[in-house]
Amino acid sequence: MIAYIEKVLAMLEVEVRRIMHDRTELYTRAVQPILWIGVFAPVMEKFRVVPIPNITYMEFITPGVLVQSITFVSIFYGLNVIWERDLGVLNKLLVAPVSRSALVIGKALSAGVRGIFQSLIIVLLAEILGVRIVINPIYLLLAALLIVVFCAAFAALSIFIASLLKTRERFMGIGQAITMPLFFASNAIYPINLMPNWLKAVATINPLSYAVEGLRALMITGDLTTVPLDFLVSFVFVAVTIVIASQTFKKIIE
Amino acid sequence: MSNNVISVRNLVKVYDKVTRALDGVSLDVEEGEIFGLLGPNGAGKTTLVRILTTQIPPTSGEAFILGKSIIEEAERVRELIGYVPQEISVMTDLTGYENMLFYSKLYGVPSSERKRRIENALSLVGLLDKANIVVKNYSGGMMRRLEIAQAIINYPKVLFLDEPTIGLDPSGRKAIWSYLSQLMEEHEMTIFMTTHYMDEADMVTDRLAIINLGKIVAVGTSSELKRSTKLESITIISKFHKEEVKNLLNSLPFVKQIYDGKEEGSVTAYVENAEEAVIEIISTLKENNVDVESLSMNKPTLDDVFLAYAGTKLEETTSALEARKVRRTMQRMR
């Protein structure tokens, strides 16, 4: 068990070292969220099209945009695994005495590590743009945990998809095709109660909504009523995706 | 069975229900030898290595590494082996040392021993002074050496090398060979390597197996194999009409096969005993007024061995595929 954890940690360490060597991707990936928060939100606010009590629209969409951004980061991990297969890196991992599930968990949590770094940049820039984040260490730690869990779940989902598609070409379009519909069919940029009923139903079973709701509570409103449910849904989501991805993982090299 | 480090029994691998990549392969590798698997691309070399290193299961048959089944005891097998894949598979965005550190942790090298083992392995392949440079700045040969260093971090009993010198220039290839022989002296290991370079198979390996279309067609030391072909050849260069020369040679009973040579107007005839054949060939050509410019006798090379056992020339089946693979490897090195 200790050996298992050490091997997962070794994979996370590699991810941190990668980020330390080259941070360009973190910065370029911050551009789009900043456009949402800095340009889209103020314009929408001016027209007052989305009525939200107590907080500004900019504050409202910050967690939503953050979740969209880390979804993109995580959905890339399946592609990353295919890429590593083509390079032979994956083959070498599979020949090492490491269980398949440790490899999947290692990859999934690596996405969580990157998600945390990405979130730090976005939150910092949002704060500069005028978003007031709740400064409570416990809330922020919980928010970080939720981000890691959510990223891990999406990365595992993406590894599962990669094990079905198997080639980079087929995978390429999938990132957008999954994340954009999930983003718009969630509470990321408008409250669920404004949605038509059919969309409301989709948003309710959309795991992205729960991540957004949890982060919004922990970072913006400080009202924790929904947080237990948000965590429950996210933990179930990650458990299911990791179990499935561990089953299908080795199909990628066959 | 006693001192066989690798034993393979009737291994079959079928891809997509139709492609028989391995078609009943059996072989034994003895302790401490460098065993080479020689064959063109697509012959099944990589498939065999991937099955023996527990990456993919065989369709049928079985194989054992130090008595452990690669199917039932895959986890145990993984602890005993080291593996260098065909592709340049180092993590180019990290330093050499960081690459080594990752694999030492993955292989469960105790933390107290890590630094020493990493430094030993890096100095063995001559990379200790480059340890803290990010790998994307390495040359192709250096990346290969780093991979070999990685593969020996757990002191494997058996080291699998899949085309270890593909895409390297002659001096890079020589360097890899000399590091490997040094490695064999310092660690007790058995090496199983695949290659499609004849000179490599000839010089580096103790014994080799020739594989073609998923079948092992011959096994032995390089000199045993050459002798066993009983094929020696005579090459004739003449300005005379080539087809006629071929017809004349064909009419001789001891001539087995005839091929066009590399040079303009040259014809190569395979015979059992070149010294005896040469006299008859010259007299036959003279009788028919064929003007011979030059004539040479050739002893068999591994290419001839391959031709004798597989029925095709190794180089012809290889070139196009290899060009593509080398290009891919080179792109990666940049």
Q: What is the pLDDT of residues B182-204, one digit of tens each?
A: 888 888 899 999 988 888 888 88
Q: Which residue in chain A has the smallest CA separation from B101?
A: A10
Residue A248 has pLDDT above 70, yes or no: yes
Q: Is residue B334 very low, low, confident or very high in pLDDT (cuts 50, 70, 90)?
A: very low
Per-residue pLDDT, B303: 82
Round the average pLDDT of chain A to a whole number and report it: 92
Distance between CA atoms of A215 and A197, rounded to whole angstroms? 24
Residue B324 has pLDDT above 60, yes or no: no
What pLDDT is recorded for position B74? 92
Taking 3-state DSSP, the helix, strand and coil percentages for chain A, each rounded to the nearest 5, stand at 80, 0, 20
Any idea which of A114-118, B11-15, B99-103, B200-204 has the lowest mean pLDDT?
A: B200-204
A236: contact with B, CB 8 A cutoff: no
pLDDT band at A233 (very low <50, low <70, confident <90, very high): very high
More confident residue, A114 or B275: A114
pLDDT band for position B131 (50/70/90)?
Answer: very high
Residue B1 has pLDDT above 90, yes or no: no
The SS3 assignment for A138 reads: helix
Min Cα distance A94 → chain B (Å) is: 6
- pLDDT of A88: 87
B88 vs A87: CB contact, 8 Å cut-off?
Answer: yes
**pLDDT score, position B95:** 96
Q: Report residue B81: phi and psi, to 5°.
A: -115, 160
Residue among A13, A91, A97 minimizing CB distance to B85:
A91
CA B92 vs. chain centroid, Å, equals 26
pLDDT value, residue B285: 86
Spell out the domains of chain B, with CATH numbers in brackets.
Answer: 4-226 (3.40.50.300), 232-299 (3.30.70.100)
pLDDT at B10 over 50: yes
More confident residue, B173 or B80: B80
Give residue-wise pLDDT tens across range B67-115: 999 999 999 999 999 999 988 899 999 999 999 999 999 999 999 999 9
Residue pair B209/B38 in contact (Cβ under 8 Å)? The answer is yes
pLDDT in tens, A204-231: 999 999 999 999 999 999 999 999 999 9
Question: At residue B181, does pLDDT exceed 80?
Answer: yes
Share of chain B above pLDDT 90, in %: 46
**Are A80 and A158 a contacting pair, CB within 8 Å?**
no
Q: Do B332 and A87 touch (CB under 8 A)?
A: yes
Instruction: Say what percent of chain B tops pLDDT 70.
Output: 92
Helix (H, G, I), strand (E, B) or coil at B140: helix
Q: Within an 8 Å CB–CB cutoff, is residue A86 touching chain B?
A: yes
**B331 pLDDT tier (thresholds 50, 70, 90):** low
- Sequence-distant (6+) residues with CB within 8 A of B326 are B166, B167
Residue of A17, A21, A91 lying closest to B55 (CB–CB): A91
Counting Cα atoms < 13 Å in the Cβ hemisphere of B82 gives 24
Q: Is pLDDT above 50 for A106?
A: yes
Q: Which residues pair with B160 in a beta bridge?
A: B83, B192
At how many degrees (to 10) do helices A137-165 and A100-129 cross?
130
pLDDT at B327: 56
Q: Is the pLDDT of residue B325 over 70?
A: no
Q: Which residues of A touch B103 (CB under 8 A)?
A: 96
- Whole-number average pLDDT of chain B: 86
Nearest to B87 among A22, A87, A93 (CB): A87
Q: What is the structure's pLDDT at B332?
A: 55
- How does pLDDT run across A139-177, given as a tens digit for each residue? 999 999 999 999 999 999 999 999 998 888 888 888 788
Helix (H) or strand (E) holding A15, with range, is helix A2-21
Q: Considering only CB atoms, which chain B residues are within 8 Å of A89?
A: 89-91
Q: Where residue B134 falls among pLDDT bands split at 50, 70, 90? A: very high
Beta bridge partners of B238: B292
**Residues A92-118: what's their mean pLDDT?**
94
Closest C-alpha to B144, from B114, B115, B178, B172: B172
A135: contact with B, CB 8 A cutoff: no
Q: What is the pLDDT of residues B258-284, one digit of tens each?
A: 888 777 788 888 887 787 888 888 888
The answer to whether A14 contacts B102, with C-beta atoms less than 8 Å apart, is yes
